[in-house]
Amino acid sequence: MIIAVDGPTASGKGTIARALAAHYGLPHLDTGLLYRAVGRQCALNAADPDDPRAALVACAFPDGLLADPELRSEATGGLASRVSVHPGVRAALYERQRTFATRNGGAVLDGRDIGTVIAPEADAKLFVTASVAARAQRRFLEMQAQGRTTTLAEIETDLAERDRRDRERSEAPLRAADDAVTLDTSELGRDEAIAAALAIVEARTA
């Protein structure tokens, strides 16, 4: 069984995807982490993430970089959004994601183009979303817990800009697959969102 969980930053898709993977005993891949690693490698290379050639070079990041806590920072998230617009970067990471999705027994993947590009044949597709205000508040609390200095207004601005880039890019833009079920988590707590997602998957795979 393949489960695709798409949606914008801080919508709760990662939490939901991990819970679904645990529930069904499936491996999970946070595909956004791959793009964060490319963005982070660009920074380490002192390269311009808006330069498609430099971004493609950064796709050769070492596997160990995926464990770098800096990948979860807001700065790296912004870099990931910038490198992800390049068709060459998306092509370079496609096979890695596709291989994971089609492994024996299935998998759960979360990202922005799982249901539309990486695994269009997925057995269940969710598009997890939430208002910018709700997402900014969640990310703000996360940053505070990590001791990172930022403001709610800065996070809202950053999320809105990332949404714009992700939706307007020519290659695999952020959108719900035609057969995906949209789950708005703006007013849902963690357990409520997971329960709603499980109900959607159960209905789709019954």
Q: What is the pLDDT of residue 59?
A: 95
Taking only the tens place, the pLDDT of each residue in 1-33 is 999 999 998 999 999 999 999 999 999 999 999
Q: d(Cα 126, Cα 194) in Å, to the nearest integer?
A: 12
Mean pLDDT throughout 182-186?
98
Q: d(Cα 1, Cα 119) in Å, to the nearest integer?
A: 11
Q: d(Cα 144, Cα 156) in Å, to the nearest integer?
A: 15
Cβ neighbours of residue 158 closer than 8 Å, sequence gap 6 or more: 74, 77, 78
Instruction: Note the pTM of the prediction, 2 decimals.
Output: 0.86
CATH number of this structure's domain 2-205, picked from the four choices 3.40.50.2300, 3.40.50.10680, 3.40.50.300, 3.30.300.20:
3.40.50.300
Of 3, 8, 2, nearest to 112 (Cα)? 8
φ, ψ of residue 54 in degrees (nearest 5): -65, -40
Taking only the tens place, the pLDDT of each residue in 40-90 is 999 999 999 999 999 999 999 998 999 999 998 888 988 998 999 899 999
Q: What is the pLDDT of residue 169?
A: 82
